[in-house]
């Protein structure tokens, strides 16, 4: 496997792991509870930004081959969360929507894209 493909695989797996962590963090929690819970907000913002960081580091050829995945939107959300000057400027209603709806909805497309990479027969994907 080439280094580029190896890195794309790693980053796609990181994205899937981040989505799973978000699902666990938000399991059984409604939006009202989330908006009152600073710790969960911080953890969710961190994982959303990590998914965006992984998306930003996917190779250009792979991103171009998979335009069904909104790479730039994920990167933009990451940039917003990481580069915000005033934490109070984060709209946690939007973070909730991204973490609870948008990213989980992308999971099948990310999995499908991952499976387009021709991996060596002895390579096993982590269970994500």
Predicted local confidence at residue 13, as pLDDT: 94
Q: Is residue 57 part of a domain?
A: yes
Across all residues in the chain, what is the average pLDDT?
89
Reported residue count of the chain is 128
d(CA 56, CA 12): 11
Count of domains for the chain: 1
d(CA 57, CA 123): 22
Determine the structural domain holding residue 110 and report its residue range.
3-114
pLDDT above 90: residue 24: yes
27: part of which helix (H) or strand (E)? none
d(CA 21, CA 110): 16
Q: Is residue 78 part of a domain?
A: yes
Q: Is residue 15 part of a domain?
A: yes
pLDDT above 50: residue 18: yes
pTM of the model: 0.88
In degrees rounded to 5, what are phi and psi of residue 28? 75, 5
pLDDT above 60: residue 5: no
Q: Is residue 126 part of a domain?
A: no
Q: Is residue 123 part of a domain?
A: no
d(CA 103, CA 119): 25
pLDDT digits (tens, 9 = 90+) for 67-115: 999 999 999 999 888 887 665 688 999 999 999 999 999 999 999 999 8
Q: Is residue 121 part of a domain?
A: no
Residue 87: CB atoms within 10 A of its CB come to 11
- Residue 89 is classified by DSSP as G
Helix intervals (H) in the chain: 3-26, 31-36, 38-56, 60-65, 71-83, 92-97, 103-114
Q: Is residue 127 part of a domain?
A: no
Q: Is residue 122 part of a domain?
A: no
């Amino acid at each position: 496997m080439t280094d580029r493909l190896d890195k794309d695989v790693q980053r796609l797996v990181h994205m899937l792991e981040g989505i799973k962590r978000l699902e666990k963090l938000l399991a059984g929690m409604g939006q009202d509870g989330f908006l009152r819970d600073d710790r969960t907000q911080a953890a969710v913002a961190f994982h959303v930004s990590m998914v965006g960081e992984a998306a930003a580091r996917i190779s250009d050829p792979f991103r171009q081959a998979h335009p069904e995945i909104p790479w730039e939107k994920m990167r933009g959300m990451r940039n917003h969360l990481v580069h915000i000057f005033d934490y109070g400027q984060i709209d946690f209603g939007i973070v909730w929507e991204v973490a609870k709806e948008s990213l989980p909805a992308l999971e099948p497309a990310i999995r499908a894209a991952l499976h387009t990479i021709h991996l060596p027969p002895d390579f096993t994907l982590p269970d994500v």
